[in-house]
Amino acid sequence: MWPRAARVAGVGFVVTGLFLRIVRYLQDRSLWLDELQLSLNIVERDVAGLLTPLEHKQAAPPGFLVLERLSVVAFGDAEWALRLPPLLFGLLALFLFARLCRERLPPIAGLVALALFALNAALVEYSSEVKQYSVDVAATTLLLLLASRVADDAPTGVRRDAWRRLAVAGAVVPWFSHAVAIVLVGVGAALLLAAARGALGWRSVFAVGALWGGGLWIHDALFAGSIRADEYFRTYFGPDFAPQPFAGDNLRWYARKLELCLSTAGGGALRLLAASALLGVAALARRRERAALLLGGMVVAFVLSSLELYPLRRRFLLFLVPCLLLVVAEGIALVAARGRLGRAAAAALAVGLLALPALTSARQVTAPPTKQEARPLFREVAGRILDGDHVHVHHRARMHFDYYAPRTGLAPTTVSFGRYHDPDSLHELRRELVAGTTAPRTWIIVANLTDTERAHLLRTIETLGALTDLLVEPGVAAVRCEITRR
């Protein structure tokens, strides 16, 4: 049981985390490409359609897609409705992690872990994006909480309802989170180790394992297997698969990915995070069940990556954040246990770990980052477009047009859509712009370009005719020109 001062501080960190996530949600930014690709599937399909392979090279757990569709049916297809399920799971994850810290960690270590979780910029961001990653975090945290109650309490006797809750959660959550299947391997390893030392009954462990294994097999056969078989998946994420052999220059890749895991979990104080994590691993050396529970998921993720089954990219590593923060907390607890000097060192470590995440969170509130602000751009184009104007949509802006044009009143007389081509090819761009229309004026809408690519494209357009209007928003732009036809 934490003392009252620690409980009050914990509530303060939870309130701070809630504030950051809700503020980010209420900033109501435009959907960006990654969100749009999934959102168009959600708004254009019914529930049955969402259970078939998605368009636009997208994949998401069926349970998450159903919740998204229910939100759209209930509240409409505006950005806030699409982002509502991720927000709710982001808030749920915060409450679950606070409960986990309070139950399984000493006060100073638990408060540092909770503060890092509350202030984590990636968790705040993905709590209001139309993607499933906040569900991954909530599902992982739930399993850690329930599994800790079973494995850690095994020596004094496990209540039957704790077993039931863990069994049901392990069977249900993979339908809402693909990544949580990796966590289940670590949970299963922890339960097997507890059974091996006689703390748990083999029959119960095998029964739970059979339930989970059967559910994962059905889920894989119906949904996840098709993702792995997709050639685009292997090609696009090729650099994020672990190289073989585990030696030589390839070790640098593994070092970079471990650094990515730590930075995703705790922000920018990498050396302090690494030191705390190493101390945490040392503290877990004699607690095999807890080591398997907290480190098993990361080990399995790297193994699957070496088999080209799971790419180690930042957003796909978010589900490991609860595990890694608990490992860091174990290291802080080890330091704090060394008497008065140890507690002072742990306090200094906490300040160092929390300083940068706190500054980053403050910037998120006062100067919120943006990616692709298509909504105001399309509204402006809709207000300026004249009768007879033609609209040409760059191939990277197609998703933005499909979602925002009908929602901002942009209804041009004629529209053409670009196809992928060499950005240096003036001839191909001219052919796209003049094909199928004799309109005197053409609006060209572009998105998802770097500043360099956009500048190059605008210079190319200037060679095709006179520019009469230019609108620029973060990540998107529109230009009106009079194409010289020859």
Residue that wins the pLDDT comparison between 231 and 353: 353
Name the least confident of 78-82, 191-195, 325-329.
191-195
Query: Of 148-152, 169-173, 402-406, which has the strongest mean pLDDT?
Result: 402-406
Query: Of 46-55, 95-104, 172-181, which has the strongest mean pLDDT?
Result: 95-104
> Per DSSP, what are the bridge partners of residue 482?
466
pLDDT digits 0-9 by tens, 391-447: 999 888 999 999 999 999 998 888 888 876 655 555 676 677 766 567 778 898 999
CB neighbours of residue 428 within 10 Å: 15
pLDDT digits 0-9 by tens, 84-132: 999 999 999 999 999 999 999 999 999 999 999 999 999 999 999 999 9
Binned at pLDDT 50, 70 and 90, residue 50 comes out as: very high
Residue that wins the pLDDT comparison between 162 and 32: 32
Q: Looking at the predicted structure, is the pLDDT value of residue 186 above 60?
A: yes
Binned at pLDDT 50, 70 and 90, residue 250 comes out as: confident
Q: List the structure tokens of 80.
A: 């806030």
Residue 36's pLDDT is 96
What is the C-alpha radius of gyration for the chain, rounded to an integer number of angstroms?
25
Token pair 């069977």: residue: 171
Residue 133's pLDDT is 96
Angle at 300 between CA 213 and CA 137, to 5 degrees: 80
Residue 458's pLDDT is 77
Q: List the structure tokens of 334.
A: 């080890």
Share of the chain above pLDDT 90, in %: 56
pLDDT digits 0-9 by tens, 211-234: 787 777 776 666 565 565 567 777
Binned at pLDDT 50, 70 and 90, residue 134 comes out as: very high
Angle at 297 between CA 185 and CA 228, to 5 degrees: 75
- Phi/psi zone of residue 339: left (φ > 0), alpha (ψ -120 to 50 degrees), beta? left
pLDDT digits 0-9 by tens, 272-319: 999 999 999 999 998 889 999 999 999 999 998 988 888 999 999 999
In Å, what is the CA distance from 43 to each residue of 53, 69, 78, 371, 380?
A: 15, 7, 10, 22, 24
Residue ranges of the domains in the chain? 4-30+83-365, 374-483
Largest CA distance in the chain: 86
Mean pLDDT of 343-365: 91
CA 236 to chain centre: 17
Mean pLDDT of 345-351: 92
Strands 390-393 and 476-483: unpaired
Q: Looking at the predicted structure, is the pLDDT value of residue 26 above 60?
A: yes
Start-to-end CA distance of the chain, whole Å, equals 80
